[in-house]
């Protein structure tokens, strides 16, 4: 009796296209090697999510009774990669569900592992989904120690903005149809224009190319004079 271990999708694709024969390797395989080959096939599936990969590693460790170092040699993966992936199984169930659903990446999940408190892990995971935080942002939250202190700290550090500068930022936001921030110091300032994709950036650049000279009432000298006069207010 023959049993198909690897290549089921290719075999089904051949059936679908009407191909009668396909190349194959036929060999005798012990039961424990059969399990290993089946798990290896699963690990190479493109749709395997990080938790499924972690579960496969854990199953291989338990079934083969080997160390992570030995497993790494068998499946041609690095030991740290195996170790870090298995650690995902320690995350709270709510966080694991988000990983399985694809709303949290493996990078997000591994950043959360630096936190020991499950409640904090869940809280930051919720922020990742709600605010679309990047992996780098999550790492910064973790480095702060308590993510609940981040928002107040940011508000205390908010730069002062003159009323005319804020008006200009609002007008630019309306014109470019995206969020625009204008930050002005006593000697220089900067404009931050947010964009979503490269196409969005090209659209904004095209609008900038067509932008006329600024109106006289909003020239730098007037705005700078307002800041110097002490009329700047907190944003």
Helix (H, G, I), strand (E, B) or coil at 184: strand
Instruction: Encode burial over 201-226: b for 16+ CB neighbours within 10 A, e otherwise.
Output: eeebeeeeeeeeeeeeeeeeeebbeb
Tokens of residue 3, six digits: 């049993």
For 8-57, write each residue's pLDDT tens digit: 777 888 888 888 888 888 877 776 666 666 666 666 655 678 888 888 88
Task: Say if residue 227's pLDDT is above 50.
Answer: no
Task: List phi, psi (to 5°) of 233.
Answer: -130, 160
Task: Say if residue 179's pLDDT is above 50.
Answer: yes
- Count of all residues that appear for the chain in the document: 235
For the chain, the maximum distance between any two Cα atoms, rounded to a whole number of angstroms, is 90
* pLDDT at residue 156, rounded to an integer: 43
Specify whether 8 is catalytic: yes
Mean pLDDT (the chain) is: 76
Task: Say if residue 231's pLDDT is above 50.
Answer: no
Task: Say if residue 110's pLDDT is above 70.
Answer: yes
Task: Say if residue 197's pLDDT is above 80.
Answer: no
For 114-169, write each residue's pLDDT tens digit: 898 999 999 998 888 878 888 998 988 888 775 454 543 444 444 555 677 788 88
* pLDDT at residue 112, rounded to an integer: 92
Q: Average pLDDT, stretch 167-182?
A: 80
* pLDDT at residue 21, rounded to an integer: 87
* pLDDT at residue 91, rounded to an integer: 92
List the catalytic residue out of 8, 177, 194, 202: 8
Q: In this structure, are residues 226 and 189 in contact, taking their beta carbons and an 8 Å threshold? A: no
Range name among 3-7, 189-193, 204-208 with the lowest pLDDT average: 3-7
132: left (phi over 0), alpha (psi -120 to 50) or beta: left
Task: Say if residue 191's pLDDT is above 80.
Answer: yes
Per DSSP bridges, beta strands 189-193 and 180-184 are antiparallel
């Amino acid at each position: 009796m023959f049993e198909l271990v690897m290549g089921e999708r290719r075999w089904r694709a051949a059936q679908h296209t009407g191909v009668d024969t396909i190349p194959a390797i036929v060999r005798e395989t012990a039961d424990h090697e059969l399990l290993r080959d089946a798990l290896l096939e699963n690990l190479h599936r493109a749709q395997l999510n990080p938790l499924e990969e972690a579960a496969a590693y854990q199953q291989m460790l338990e079934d083969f009774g080997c160390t992570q170092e030995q497993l790494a040699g068998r499946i041609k993966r690095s030991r740290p990669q195996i170790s870090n992936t298995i650690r995902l199984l320690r995350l709270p169930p709510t966080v694991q569900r988000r990983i399985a659903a694809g709303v949290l990446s493996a990078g997000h999940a591994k950043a959360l592992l630096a936190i020991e408190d499950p409640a904090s892990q869940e809280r930051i995971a919720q922020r990742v989904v709600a605010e679309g935080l990047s992996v780098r942002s999550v790492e910064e939250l973790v480095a702060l120690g308590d993510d609940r202190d981040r928002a107040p700290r940011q508000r205390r550090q908010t730069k002062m903005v003159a009323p005319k500068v804020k008006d200009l930022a609002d007008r630019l936001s309306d014109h470019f149809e995206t969020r625009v921030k204008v930050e002005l110091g006593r000697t220089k300032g900067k404009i931050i224009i947010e964009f979503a994709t490269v196409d969005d950036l090209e659209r904004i650049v095209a609008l900038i190319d067509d932008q006329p000279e600024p109106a006289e009432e909003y020239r730098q000298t007037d705005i700078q004079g307002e800041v110097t006069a002490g009329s700047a207010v907190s944003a």
